[in-house]
Structure formats: structure tokens, C-alpha cells
């Protein structure tokens, strides 16, 4: 079953759950809307990788929002965004641990032959296809910088 089909099935389940599925229903509708918009704009059908990209962007937006809401002392909005992230994470592949990311970074540095921070682009070009949708971009960026600054 593709991710789009899974989203549709989960939306139907949330609709039947009425009040209990309200949060999940609104998040799934938002994701499906974003997918449809990109498909219409690009005039193409998205595969699972395209859907994962959209969901990853939505998770990243919410994580950024959480930081801002914490600064503004809006714990109600922090809780809402965390709940939305929990719903979205079900549709992403298993996330890599920091140790796994460090291992992949070490491998990518060796493969690319990069040795300075100026060559970070080479490392990221090798690394990103391996971690796409499976690790937070900020974490990957930080670990690559650490590896190249040693």
C-alpha cells in the first residue's frame, strides 16, 4: 500500500472515530492537501519518496514552530504541534539514531575525500540520499561540520 493510500485509509478511520480522531483527521487532511497542491503544480503524480519529502517538510515546520512558541511561552501551541508531529511521524521511515548518522557521516567523508569545511557540499551530496527522510537535516549538518572541523 502506498503512503497516499495509507493516508486515505487513516483519514477514513479518523472520520469514523469522530471526536477521538479529530486531531489526526486535521493533520492527515493538511498533508493530503499539500500533496495534491504539489501534484497539481508539478502536473505529475507523486510517489512514496515525494510524499515522504512533503511529510518531512511538515515535521520540520512544526519543530521550528515549537522553538518559537517556547520562546513566546505558548505551551498550548507547543503541545498541539507536538501532537501533530506524532501523527506525521507514523508516515515517515524509521528515524536513524545519532550513532547511525555519525557512522554514515564518517563513511561519506571517506568516500568524498573531503577534509575541510569548505568541502562540506561534497559530503552532503554523498550523504543526503542515504538519510533523506530518515534523519533531521540540522543534526546531519551539525555532525558533518564536527567531522570536517577535526
Same domain, 15 and 74: yes
CATH code, 124:
1.10.10.410
Q: What pLDDT was estimated at residue 111? A: 87
Residues 65 and 121 in one domain: no
Whole-model pTM: value is 0.79
Query: Per residue in 62-76, pLDDT tens?
Result: 999 999 999 999 999
Total domain count for the chain? 2
Domain harbouring 53, CATH code:
1.10.1510.10
| Cβ neighbourhood burial of 95 (10 Å; 0-12, 13-18, 19+) | middle
Residue 115 and residue 63 share a domain: no
Same-domain status, 104 and 83 = no
Q: What's the farthest any 2 CA atoms get from each other in the chain?
A: 56
Residue 10: name the closest of 2, 103, 117 by CA.
2
> Can you spell out the DSSP letters for 31-76?
HHHHHHHHHHHHTS---HHHHHHHHHHHHHHHHHHHHHHHHTT-HH
For residues 75 and 114, membership in a common domain is answered with no
Q: Are residues 112 and 76 in the same domain?
A: no
Q: In this predicted model, what pLDDT tens digit does every residue of 77-89 receive, in sequence order?
A: 999 999 999 999 9
Residues 44 and 75 in one domain: yes
Which domain range does residue 119 map to? 98-148
Amino acid at each position: 500500500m502506498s503512503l497516499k493510500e495509507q493516508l486515505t485509509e487513516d483519514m477514513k478511520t479518523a472520520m469514523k472515530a469522530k471526536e477521538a480522531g479529530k486531531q489526526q483527521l486535521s493533520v492527515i487532511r493538511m498533508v493530503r492537501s499539500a500533496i495534491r497542491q504539489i501534484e497539481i503544480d508539478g502536473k505529475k503524480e507523486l510517489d512514496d519518496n515525494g510524499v515522504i519529502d512533503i511529510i518531512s517538510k511538515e515535521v520540520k515546520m512544526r519543530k521550528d514552530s515549537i522553538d518559537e512558541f517556547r520562546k513566546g511561552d505558548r505551551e498550548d501551541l507547543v503541545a498541539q504541534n507536538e501532537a501533530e508531529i506524532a501523527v506525521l511521524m507514523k508516515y515517515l521511515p524509521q528515524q536513524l539514531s545519532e550513532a547511525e548518522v555519525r557512522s554514515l557521516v564518517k563513511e561519506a567523508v571517506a568516500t568524498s575525500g573531503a577534509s575541510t569545511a569548505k568541502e562540506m557540499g561534497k559530503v552532503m551530496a554523498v550523504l543526503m540520499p542515504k538519510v533523506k527522510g530518515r534523519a533531521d537535516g540540522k543534526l546531519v549538518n551539525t555532525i558533518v561540520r564536527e567531522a570536517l572541523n577535526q
